[in-house]
Amino acid sequence: MTLISRLLSTSMLVTVLATSGAALAATTFNPKQPSPTGSYLAGQSALSAMQTSAAARFLTNALEGDYDHPQVVQTALIAFAANGQIAEAASTARHMLEVDPGNELA
C-alpha cells in the first residue's frame, strides 16, 4: 500500500468515525415514561437488594402499566408490605385475590 493510499484510507476512517457520533446522538432512545417491564425488573432488583422504598416506587409504576398481571401484583404486594406501606399492601392483596383467587400470599 502506498503512502497516498494509507493517508486516504486513514482520512476516510476518521471522517466516518467523526460523523457516526452525530448520527448516533440523533437516534438516541429517550423514553419519556418508564415501561412496565423495566419498572418491574428494577423493582425486583431493588427488592432483592432490600431497598424497599425504591422497590415500592418501581413496582407502583409497573402496576400502573400492567395492573392485572399476577406476578407484578404479587411482587408489588411484597414490596409494599416490606416497606411498611400497609394500606397499599392491603389494597394490592385484595386486587391479588381478584386476579388470582387461589393465591396463598394474598
Indicate the pTM of the whole model.
0.69
Summarised one tens digit per residue, pLDDT across range 1-37 is 565 555 445 555 455 455 555 555 555 666 677 899 9
Residue 42, H or E segment: helix 36-48
C-alpha pair distances (Å), 100 with each of 35, 43, 55, 106: 23, 21, 22, 9
Domain boundary assignment for the chain: 50-99
Summarised one tens digit per residue, pLDDT across range 53-100 is 999 999 999 999 999 999 999 999 999 999 999 999 999 999 999 999
